[in-house]
Structure 1
Amino acid sequence: MRFTTIYLSLALAMLLSQPFEATASNLVCFYDSRGFEREGLAQFTLADMELAMQFCTHVIYGYAGLDAKTLELQVLNQPLDLQKRHFASVTALKQKFPYIKVLLSVGGDRDLENEEKYIKLLEAGRQNQNRFIESALETVRRFDFDGLDLAFQLPRNKPRKVHSDAGMAWKSFKKFFTGDFIVDEEADTHREQFTDLVRDLSHAIKQYDLLLSLTVLPNVNSSWYYDAPSIINFLDIVNLGTFDFLTPTRNPEEADYTAPLYEVLTQNRLGHYNVNYQMEHWLLQRVPLNKLNIGIASYGRAWKLTKDSGVEGTPVVSATDGPAPAGVQTKTPGLLNWAEICQLLPNPGNANAKGNAAPVRRVGDPTKRYGNYAFRAADENGDYGLWISYEDPDTAASKAQYVRAKNLGGVALFDLTLDDFRGQCTGDRFPMLRAIKYRLL
């Protein structure tokens, strides 16, 4: 084990020591079209998209899905995407921003019915896979997208508790590599099948000078499904979902940093739950630096604290009770957009607020290694407890600086509709998007 670690460290050092030419940084802006259908301050309009596109190099429209019966690409929201012509409206913005590439993403965290259908597609054989390829190509070309993004709903790592003590942390880490947490016993076969699909899809799509990208969703084990050396030449970019390592849904009983930049050494955690580890995993497989984009979430994950969670808030926080109540704008338990988080931080408007509107205490990270968190201890009745791990413009800029220092391809922001696109917090619209862009320059 020790010699393997030394070998990997030396190999990585050699890779990083090689001279690489600086490349223009990507800023890949994910757009969840559900934001267009939200109400009130959370509604994301085409005018908001037009402002955001001044900063983006790519926009990835989410999401299309997969028909479980035919294995063809299917439009998930026909009333919006087709009848209201939202596909066409978004791609039409390229007339004003001709340098931007707009891709259509398949899967994401939106195509949740019959999730096993993505494995079924891999197992379906070339003839059935060709039906997916042909349907995807037809949709992309019909609506003037510049390419396709594969964000397949492949089986996720099993959530597990890893923080009890040093012995438990080692046992969990060991189980991860010895198979106790295997969720797909046919992963080797599926990896080969995914490679075949990417190759065939690339050959078809490149005939029309279109782009093909891969988005690795959080908690999908890259080594199980992606043979990086075999597929990278068929891909234009790879977007790593380097966030949501822990969430209040997957880890309801303990709260922790959801997207640390580096391994958190002060407590017993799994060593791969950080941005740097995920980046190095791909880099060690000789993936070109300029094809790797690091994912940054524009939202925070929020847990409900209980009386047993204590009053200090220092992670790892135990005895949490799953997702915190939904925010007024996002209406999703356990998820708060940046505007909702910012308005909970101490300010003149909430100084005397009570209950769920009471201010939270912000705890920053001067090391810029782990991230921010904010919390409100539960009251004497066990109510109103809240713990949030989140990015803000400063931490997003730090991660963009990391990308620049490593000479990586760029940043993928997940997503535009959860940034403070109305400027509710400080008056600056898209503060996270702007902070990332300016640091990448």
Structure 2
Amino acid sequence: MKFHLLGLLGAVQLLGLVQAGNLVCYYDSASYLRKGLARQTPSDLDLALQFCTHLVYGYVGLNPQNFEVHSLNVDVDMFNFKDITMLRTRYPQLKVLLSVGGDHDVDEAHPNKYLDLLEANRTMQQNFIDSTMILVRRNGFDGLDLALQFPKNKPRKVHGTVGTYWKKFKKLFTGDYIVDPNAALHKESYSELAVNLRRAFQTANLMLTMTVLPNVNSTWYFDVAKLHSQFDFINLAAFDFLTPTRNPDEGDYSAPIKFLDEENRLPFLNVEYQIDYWLHNHCPPQKLNLGIASYGRAWKLTSGSGLSGLPVVPQTDGPASGGLQIASTDGLLSWPEICAKLATNNTAAYRGANAPLRKVTDLTQKYGNYALRPANEDGEHGFWVSYDDPDFAGIKAAYAKGRGLGGVAIYDLSYDDFRGLCTGQKYPIVRSVKYFIA
């Protein structure tokens, strides 16, 4: 029955009777350089693009000397730019954008170069505007996505009872933790940059979108009332609230929908809070797309972490080993890598190096699923991962639609099961999201 409904819904959409939501699909060009089954080329995108309304190619970087944008990997981009934009010949409904920044433009010598851009004079900012337009137009993109790197908020710390009271007492005198003392100035400068970008891109009939990266505090950098009209849409990357790198000593839901008021959790580390901030500051809901990660975050459990896996999980030991496909990133596993670790029967071993992970499904549909393998008696082989599988990604998509949002953004296609390794179905997260936002 579900497939008959999907077919009927597709026919109705073609007749223009139903307006489907945005499905913004990010393609990480670095996936082209991965080895084995993890390598994703533009030709691997075909099936997903039947569902995506926008494809965002990431990422290009910022030159800290002249504030011009540039390719982060010329050998890849010189071919991929053309291959990606040519996909519109087969999928004419698709808009293809180029993204600048993300978490890929790492520059240890100039860690605050995007703040430097905001502080630069009008001439230097014009270099940024002109170079983005040249790169976008020369390579046939439909527009630009701003995913500028700004300082991230302070990670949650582990506090005992005495420590919690002391923290609250100290806050009376010290105020909130300040990451950027010039945040007010930078907020104003970002709005001005957006206005100038919008003016230039409208003249060239190009799209301009924006991505709010994980753990970037919107109250510091984004004047919502001034910004929302400058962008075709805004993607809220509402995940990675807690990660094993930022929060090595405790495991918790990495992208909950709701605030779970227990264990001294911080009230803003959830999807609902992030959406509410933009809506309460008068951003039209249809301008917002909810960002969903197609990967999970994994912690290493110790003998002190217990057996239940109920978050918040105590005494974790930083990131667990990464997946076999993306082994260079500890603590990160794509959806097919997580799926491969899950137990398929109840008689499998519960602990030990070769034991599978036991999935715990969130029946409340508010916080997320997780899976675990407790540490053995020697404190080894413990593993705990928080993730959105296709089912929970669908729950989030339905939540976004229920809030009246414009759609969903998936980060990214290379972490979905694009080869169908788990169940034989390719791009299950993309499919699930599309079904619920249609």
Q: Do they superpose with TM above 0.5?
A: yes
**Taking structure 1 as reference, are residues 172 and 42 closer, same or farther at Cα in structure 2, changes over 3 Å only?**
farther
Aligned equivalents of 1:219, 1:275: Cα separation in 2: 12
Q: 2:151 aligns with which of 146, 152, 155?
A: 155
1:146 to 142, 147, 170: 142
Task: Name the SS for the 2:118 alignment partner.
Answer: helix
Tell me if the contact between 2:397 and 2:433 (Cα under 8 Å) persists in the aligned partners: yes
1:160 shift after superposition: 2.7
Give the drift of 1:161.
Answer: 1.1
In the TM superposition, what whole-angstrom CA distance separates every residue of 1:198-226 from its partner, at most 9, and x where no partner exists?
Answer: 11011111111111111000100001001
SS in 2 for 1:439: helix
Aligned to 1:298: 294
The residue aligned with 1:103 is: 97
Cα deviation 1:356-394 (Å, max 9, x = unaligned): 442011111111000001111111121110010000011
Q: Is the 8 A contact 2:101 2:149 kept in 1?
A: yes
**Number of paired residues?**
419
Contact 1:24–1:409 (CA<8 Å) still a contact in 2?
no
* In 2: Cα distance, 1:197 partner to 1:143 partner: 23
Deviation of residue 349 (structure 1)? 12
Question: C-alpha distance in 2, partners of 1:372/1:308?
Answer: 22
Q: Does 1:126 align with 2:122?
A: yes
State the superposition RMSD in angstroms.
2.2
Structure 2 vs 1, CA of residues 257 and 163 (structure 1 numbering), >3 Å: closer, same or farther?
Answer: farther
Aligned to 1:386: 383
Change in Cα spacing, 1:364 to 1:259, as seen in structure 2 (3 Å) is: same
Asked if residue 321 in structure 1 is aligned to residue 331 in structure 2, the reply is: no
**Aligned equivalents of 2:255, 2:401: Cα separation in 1:** 18
- SS of match in other structure, 2:140: coil
CA contact (8 A) 2:352 2:375 kept: no
Q: TM-score of the superposition, structure 2-length normalised? A: 0.91
Aligned partner letter, 1:278? Q
AA of the residue aligned to 1:333: D
Query: What amino acid does structure 1 have at the position aligned with 2:393?
Result: A
Identical aligned pairs, as a percentage? 52
Structure 1: segments with no counterpart, 5+ residues: 1-21
Report the counterpart of residue 235 of structure 2 in structure 1: 239
The 1:145–1:168 alpha-carbon spacing in structure 2 relative to 1, beyond 3 Å, is same
- Pick one of 65, 89, 93 that aligns with 2:87: 93
Go from structure 1 to structure 2 and tell me whether the alpha carbon gap of 1:200 and 1:175 turns closer, same or farther (over 3 Å shift).
farther
Q: 1:350 to 1:226 in 2, by over 3 A?
A: farther
Offset at residue 48 of structure 1 (A)? 1.6
Deviation at residue 312 of structure 1 after TM alignment? 1.5
Q: Note if 1:376 corresponds to 2:369.
A: no
Shift of 1:47: 2.4
1:426 aligns with 2:426: no
Q: Conserved in 2, the CA contact under 8 Å of 1:289 and 1:408? A: yes
Of 429, 433, 437, the match for 1:436:
433
> Contact 1:65–1:107 at 8 Å: present in 2 too?
yes
Structure 2, unaligned runs of 5 or more:
1-17
Alpha-carbon spacing, 1:176–1:76, altered in 2? closer, same or farther (3 Å): farther
Contact 1:23 1:409 in 2 (8 A): no
The residue identity in structure 1 corresponding to 2:243 is T
Give the secondary structure class of the aligned counterpart of 1:53: helix
Work out the CA distance in 1 between the residues paired with 2:150 and 2:321: 28
Per-residue displacement from partner, 1:132-172 (whole Å, max 9, x unpaired)? Answer: 10000000001111100110110000113155349728946
Moved over 3 A (4+): 162-167, 169-180, 348-357
- Residue 397 of structure 1 is aligned with which of 371, 377, 394? 394
Query: Does residue 218 of structure 2 align to residue 248 of structure 1?
Result: no
Cα distance, 1:352–1:315 mapped onto 2, change above 3 Å: closer
Kept in 2: contact 1:346–1:361 (CA 8 A) = yes
* 2:15 counterpart residue number: none
C-alpha distance in 2, partners of 1:177/1:134?
Answer: 46
Paired residue type of 2:421: Q
The reply on whether 1:341 has 2:338 as its aligned counterpart is yes
DSSP 3-state at the match of 1:102: strand
Aligned pairs for 1:69-218 (under 5 A) are 69-82=65-78, 85-113=79-107, 114-161=110-157, 164-165=160-161, 168=164, 171=167, 175=171, 179-218=175-214
The Cα of 1:51 is off from its aligned counterpart by 1.3
**2:351–2:375 Cα contact (<8 Å) kept:** no
